Copies of this chain bind each other. A is one copy, B any other.
């Protein structure tokens, strides 16, 4: 493990070596680091130095470093390489990562690169699958064996053909139609007697997924059943590929980030140092949507302009009604959305969840309504004001409970990601109904408020 400060130091050191033209020393330093660290340094160098390094180092080292980056970063780093240079590096990459990188180029560029590659057959089939499906994160399987082999035979077969395979977790046993019939974990292979056949030690009850399965679902299956790899098959159980646990850890992180950003109304793969135009593109559309809903709330308030003109003190309490309703609605909504994402909650739980949240909302409403009502009474010396705002608060916290439960469920039912849009609707509901309730009650009791 190299800590961030060290990365900075090594970056400076590598930069000076490159300035002095000592490229092979710079390559040696990168070679001594874990690719997860050296790839960060490579990414932080100028594009000129990136090209020099990638051209002069071994293709395998270059491939290892690229594999630690995401697609956009890879594409940026290799932009100045020729088709021939890049094809050599692609040949050394894991097929799923090579396919991700190829996905960043135009169709013509991809065709030219595949033409030059020697391992194109492993990579080309993967290009057909969308990035966020099982097909998009799987690798083409190499270590496939027949059930008649003994453990000892399997091991010498592996030594001969698969010494370079990194992701070797299970052996996949196929029949003569290339259908998957069982898997053997390395653990089972190591613990088997040398003359036991794979047929005897394999696990026949194999969990599989289809290539079009969502990557998040695949990740949760691996996590739930503590698997190191999951076979991807077609309708006839032909083995298409393997998703392995290290891909899945990244998927879970990505999906959590996506949910967090969607809840905060930020689109896409936002990063704090994204180019300005991308930051604006990820966020401004949501601000515009919110502006629209804010005008909705605003026109509700405008309905009561006459009331506010008579009792301007009402304006001071508007932020409290809207704020508490929005916060309570967001709490309920967030718990609903996360529980849906983790598979702990289903559509059929809607009424049970609603009842639960109504009770919670009632308790919150009584406590908060009483507090705010008393404070308003003593602050402005007007008991009716206290009653009005207390009642509005109770009402708005019940609105928050309904909106917080029903809006995510409705979106889930419509097959829209609840994280994507619930926030807008929930706060619109609490703002519009909260202001309406508060100012409506105030208009009714206006004689006691002025």
Query: Which A residues form the contact surface with B (CB < 8 A)?
Result: 1, 4, 34, 36, 155, 158-159, 162-163, 165, 168, 186-187, 189-191, 193, 207, 221-226, 228, 245-246, 248-250, 252-253, 256-257, 259-261, 263-266, 270-273, 276, 279-280, 283-284, 286-288, 290-291, 293-295, 297-299, 301-302, 305-306, 308-309, 312-320, 322-324, 327-328, 330-331, 333-336, 338-339, 342-346, 349, 352-353, 356, 359-360, 363-364, 367-368, 371-372, 375, 427, 431, 435
Contacts and interface: CB of A to CB of B under 8 A. Distances in A.
A253 B313 contact: no
B256 A224 contact: no
A301 to B, nearest CB: 4
A335 B375 CA distance: 36
Nearest to A152: B194
A334 B261 contact: yes
Contacts of A271: 335, 339, 344
Nearest to A192: B159
A165 B185 CA distance: 13
A222 B193 CA distance: 32
Stoichiometry (number of copies):
2
A36 B318 CA distance: 49
A125 to B, nearest CB: 24
Nearest to A165: B187
A31 to B, nearest CB: 13
Contacts of A375: 295
A305 B380 CA distance: 12
B280 A364 contact: yes
Nearest to A317: B298
Do most interface residues of chain A lie in helix, strand or loop, or is the interface mixed?
helix
B313 A305 contact: yes
19 contacts: A186-B187, A189-B190, A223-B250, A228-B228, A257-B338, A263-B264, A263-B334, A273-B352, A276-B356, A284-B364, A287-B328, A288-B368, A293-B323, A297-B323, A301-B318, A302-B313, A312-B315, A319-B322, A323-B427
Contacts of A322: 319, 322
A356 B312 contact: no
A250 B263 CA distance: 22
Given A273-B353, A276-B363, A295-B320, 12 more contacts: A245-B249, A249-B252, A271-B335, A288-B368, A290-B323, A290-B324, A301-B315, A301-B319, A305-B313, A305-B316, A319-B322, A319-B435
Contacts of A299: 316
Contact of A342 (B207, B253, B297): B253
Given A245-B245, A260-B334, A320-B291, A253 B223 contact: yes
The 10 A-B residue pairs with the shortest CB-CB distance in the complex, in nearest-first order: A256-B256, A264-B334, A309-B312, A302-B316, A226-B246, A308-B312, A186-B186, A294-B320, A223-B249, A294-B323
